[in-house]
């Protein structure tokens, strides 16, 4: 229907019912439904998922986004991680042994408000004609853009990814986690970026609407996503990790294959 904001409002209600926690209960959203507690997303895990969660929760504690009352729950995460080993297997969590995990594991413990920017999200002086020409001339339709966002937009989006406990999708044995638009990867600033891309680059997007939005986090010691083609009329890949974070500059990042996906 083209009503993305209305869809986001519905998804936020659904996610609160499924993944709410005592630490995140914004006004106007329902409390968690007890019927969801036995879903596999809450009763299973993997070492790489627990390792990520412990690191993120420690980060939130150090940023004072989580108070001292979260300490025993964080200790339960650390104990579960110590028992998980280093493999990629997805196993059942021992929720009797680690009962404090029930209220927090794979739930919305913290969500960072990330509003749209009044000055705009995209950098103001992008060479639009040049970018669109490169895209059109490439065959498959590929171009790269450095400095796409205003610095304050880039910093805000990266902080949103670091702080928000939305990395619910972990069932990938190559060691990466996912977050989806319909489960709170829905910062207003992200939706602003999508709107501005369509408006600023009409030669590429041709008025198309955003259909889906997702993100991944990677364990740097594991494989990450393999070669694939996404189903999209226009597919935008955005890499917000700063260069200085890559300690092996010859590797890492995103490899784009200059081959057009078959219609099948």
pLDDT tens across 239-256, in order? 888 888 888 888 877 888
* Distance between CA atoms of residues 153 and 188, nearest Å: 11
**What pLDDT shows up at residue 44?**
95
- 163 with 217: CB under 8 angstroms? no
Q: How many domains does the chain have?
A: 1
Tell whether the model's pLDDT for residue 161 goes beyond 80.
Answer: yes
Q: Model confidence over 23-70: pLDDT tens digits?
A: 999 999 999 999 999 999 999 999 999 999 999 999 999 999 999 999
* Domain presence at residue 189: no
* Domain presence at residue 231: no
Tell whether the model's pLDDT for residue 126 goes beyond 80.
Answer: yes
* Domain presence at residue 49: yes
- Expressed as residue numbers, the domain containing 26 is 4-103
Q: Is 44 helix (H, G, I), strand (E, B) or coil?
A: strand
CA distances from 169 to 135, 253, 264 (A): 32, 20, 26
99 DSSP assignment: G
Residue in the block written with tokens 């910062």: 187
* Domain presence at residue 59: yes
DSSP H or E stretch at residue 179:
strand 176-180
Angle at 155 between CA 154 and CA 158, to 5 degrees: 85
* Domain presence at residue 152: no
* Domain presence at residue 137: no
- 175 with 218: CB under 8 angstroms? yes
Q: Which two tokens stand for residue 60?
A: 């939130």
Higher pLDDT, 222 or 106: 106
């Amino acid at each position: 229907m083209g009503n993305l904001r209305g869809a986001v409002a519905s998804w936020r209600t659904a996610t609160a019912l499924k993944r709410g926690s005592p630490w995140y209960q914004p006004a106007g959203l329902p409390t968690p439904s007890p019927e969801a507690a036995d879903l596999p997303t809450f009763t299973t895990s993997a070492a790489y998922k627990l390792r990520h969660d412990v690191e993120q929760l420690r980060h939130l504690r150090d940023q004072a986004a989580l108070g001292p009352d979260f300490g025993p729950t964080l200790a339960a995460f650390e104990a579960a991680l110590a028992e998980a080993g280093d493999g990629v297997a997805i196993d059942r969590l021992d929720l009797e042994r680690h009962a404090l995990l029930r209220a927090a594991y794979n739930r919305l413990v913290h969500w960072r408000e990330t509003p749209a920017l009044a000055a705009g999200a995209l950098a103001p002086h992008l060479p639009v004609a040049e970018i669109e020409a490169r895209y059109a001339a490439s065959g498959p339709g590929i171009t790269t853009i450095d400095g796409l966002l205003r610095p304050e937009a880039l910093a805000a989006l990266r902080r949103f990814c670091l702080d928000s406990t939305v990395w619910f999708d972990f069932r990938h044995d190559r060691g990466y986690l996912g977050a989806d638009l319909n489960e709170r990867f829905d910062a207003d600033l992200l939706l602003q970026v999508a709107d501005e891309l369509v408006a600023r680059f009409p030669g590429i997007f041709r008025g198309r609407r955003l259909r889906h939005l997702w993100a991944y986090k990677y364990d740097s010691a594991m494989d990450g996503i393999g070669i694939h083609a996404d189903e999209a009329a226009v597919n935008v890949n955005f890499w917000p990790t700063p260069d200085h974070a890559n300690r092996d500059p010859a590797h890492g990042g995103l490899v784009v294959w200059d081959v057009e996906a078959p219609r099948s």
